[in-house]
A = this chain, B = another copy of it.
Amino acid sequence: MVRYKATIAYDGTNFSGFQSQINGRTVQDEIEKTLSKIANQAIKIRGSGRTDAGVHALGQVIDFSWPFERVPEKLRFALDTQTPADIAINQMELVSDDFHSRYQAKEKIYEFRVDIGKPRSPFRRFYSSYYPYELDVEKIKRALPDFLGTHDFTSFCSGKSVVKNKTRTIYEATMEMNEDKDEIVFTFRGDGFLYNMVRIMIGTLLKIGNGRISPDAIPQIIAACDRNAAGPTAHPEGLYLKEVKY
């Protein structure tokens, strides 16, 4: 048996998330179904982490063991052309047996897109989270650096999470407005992210931009270690898993 690592992209709109579940179409199920057909035996994959229903991926990483060595590009092509059109297999490489896409991930980069156009663009309805309210971008820019560094991010983690250690390190937290000034793209790079973490960070930043939370409140919200201290969870359609580094 050998092990392959693949970098994949998917449009999360019509998926109930990445991970296999009893009901609903998932990315994992679609890929496992295709790989099992190609290998003519049951193949299971591991992902660098889950993504929720509606969340997209530009560079999710998976790995799986395979019965025999094959030219990576041929395996990539076979998998890419046989998976549905909302999944793309962008890269494939042979890795050592002990490679693990989740345990060995060193950094993740997430992007979050907010559509602030008026009216809402029909083309972004599944690809950007719509925010039609007043937004002072300068306040958001002031708050963003307060996420940097190593913190207990309990306040920015869904209550449903079962993870014990909620300390994570954020290396990068930036925002950029597009040329037409109708979409904001946030980028977060860190050693790992808790369940719903980016979406709660965005929900909080949008409240800051809207004047309902102070731009200086992030340190206190982090210190509270209380999910209720932060803002709401932003919608999934704006979120993209952009890159996983090893």
Q: Mark A residues whose CB is within 8 Å of B.
A: 9-11, 56, 80, 85-90, 119-123, 125, 127
Give the dominant DSSP class at A's interface.
mixed
**With a CB–CB cut-off of 8 A, which chain B residues contact A9?**
121-123
Q: Is the CB of A127 within 8 A of B123?
A: yes
Per assembly, the copies of the chain total 2
Partner pick for A85 among B11, B90, B120, B127, CB 8 A cutoff: B120
Shortest distance in angstroms between A56's beta carbon and chain B's nearest beta carbon? 7
A86 engages B122 (CB within 8 Å): yes
Residues of B within 8 A of A119 (CB): 80, 88-90
- Kindly list the 3 A-B residue pairs having the minimum CB-CB distance in the complex, ordered from nearest: A11-B122, A86-B122, A88-B119
Within the complex, what minimum Cβ distance (angstroms) separates A199 from chain B? 20
Q: List 6 A-B contacts (CB under 8 A).
A: A9-B122, A10-B122, A85-B125, A86-B122, A88-B119, A89-B119
Q: Which B-chain residue is minimally distant from A87 (CB atoms)?
A: B122
A238 CB to nearest chain B CB (Å): 13
- Cα A33 to Cα B105 in complex, Å, equals 52
Name the residue on B nearest A8 (C-beta).
Answer: B122
| A10→B120 CA distance, assembly (Å) | 11
Task: State whether B122 touches A85 (Cβ < 8 A).
Answer: yes
Given contacts A88-B122, A89-B119, 20 further A-B contacts (CB under 8 A): A9-B121, A9-B122, A9-B123, A10-B122, A11-B122, A11-B123, A11-B125, A56-B123, A80-B119, A85-B120, A85-B122, A85-B125, A86-B122, A86-B125, A87-B122, A88-B119, A88-B120, A88-B121, A90-B119, A123-B127
Residues of B within 8 Å of A86, CB to CB, are 122, 125
Alpha-carbon distance A121/B11, docked complex (angstroms) = 9
C-alpha spacing A28/B3, complex, angstroms: 53
Q: Which of chain B's residues have a CB closer than 8 A to the CB of A80?
A: 119
The smallest beta-carbon distance between A59 and chain B, in angstroms, is: 12
